[in-house]
Homo-oligomer: A and B are copies of this chain.
């Protein structure tokens, strides 16, 4: 690969990172090219289409997520629930700065995730370690499942996206409520039935 090509590849990724992060999937390829200081054609020389470009960034993000998870796993052996919460908070905070990955979580489906298949798989495996540990410690409701985590994160993503819309909106509140719900069953086994204490 020629040296100038490699440098352009980086510039394109950097531009896309910045623009997808702030504008999400609406970001136009032309804008990315302009910001990278190259022509549109060059963008398409390096990535087959827009989805692939987004996919590359989503992949990066999941690698970062997995790093955060590994850290939580190694630090939180004594306090499994706290470790799980910390990891999810860290993931969410990162998501708050990355509209592109939020989009992938919510609407991207296979189209974008396909480019990060392995990383997503690892993400689930790592999360499972934390969830399992907390379940064994009895601090997470037994009917909770790892597959619920992306679902909950998807909800948080929506809250972040809509967040500019109104006073009193704070995705952190949403997240804390959800974390509380994960644990609640221990103290309150039959909330599902809707009974008043």
Chain A interface residues toward B at CB < 8 A: 79-82, 85-86, 105-107, 109-110, 134, 137-139, 141, 145, 147-148, 150-152, 154-159, 161-162, 165-171, 173-174, 176-188, 191-192, 194-197
Contact = CB atoms under 8 A, between A and B. Distances in A.
A81 B167 contact: no
B166 A148 contact: no
A9 to B, nearest CB: 30
A169 B167 CA distance: 30
B109 A195 contact: no
Contact of A80 (B147, B184, B196): B196
A154 B147 CA distance: 20
B196 A82 contact: yes
27 contacts: A79-B194, A79-B195, A105-B162, A109-B162, A109-B165, A110-B165, A139-B196, A141-B180, A148-B174, A150-B166, A151-B169, A154-B155, A154-B162, A155-B156, A155-B178, A177-B181, A177-B182, A179-B194, A180-B185, A180-B191, A181-B181, A181-B182, A183-B188, A183-B191, A184-B188, A186-B197, A187-B187
